[in-house]
């Protein structure tokens, strides 16, 4: 079966249905997800609103970019130190 990609809005909507009292087994069957996926989502997005989830996604993207910039800078620094440490 092809994996689906749910948006944050859809995930939060599914979690709100569970909070409203719908059985988790029925909810998972209706949306075509596993119990493990539901509980993973609940751990990550539980208690959030859509705006909070969007902000979380922005922060994760920004963090990824900053980590990449740091790695690039460290690599450049290491290359410069290697060149400067060689005896001519």
Cβ atoms 54, 8 nearer than 8 A: yes
Q: Check residue 19 and give its pLDDT.
A: 92
* 15 compared with 1, residue with greater pLDDT: 15
Q: Check residue 1 and give its pLDDT.
A: 52
**Taking the mean position of all CA atoms in its chain, how far away is CA 31?**
20
Which CATH number is correct for 8-85, 3.40.50, 1.10.10, 3.30.70, 1.10.287?
1.10.10
Supply φ then ψ for residue 19, to 5 degrees. Answer: -65, -30
When pLDDT is cut at 50, 70 and 90, the band that residue 4 belongs to is low
What are the pLDDT digits (tens) for 36-87? 999 999 998 888 898 998 898 899 999 999 999 999 999 999 999 999 988 6
Number of other CB atoms surrounding residue 6 within 10 Å: 15
Q: How far is CA 1 from CA 4, 31, 70, in A?
A: 9, 14, 39
Q: Check residue 71 and give its pLDDT.
A: 97
């Amino acid at each position: 079966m092809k994996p689906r990609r749910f948006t944050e809005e859809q995930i939060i909507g599914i979690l709100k249905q569970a909070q409203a009292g719908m059985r988790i087994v029925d909810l998972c069957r209706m949306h075509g997800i596993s119990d493990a996926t539901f509980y993973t989502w609940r751990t990550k997005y539980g208690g959030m609103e859509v705006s909070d989830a969007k902000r979380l996604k922005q922060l994760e993207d920004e963090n990824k970019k900053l980590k990449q910039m740091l790695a690039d800078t460290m690599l450049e620094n290491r290359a410069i130190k290697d060149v400067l440490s060689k005896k001519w």
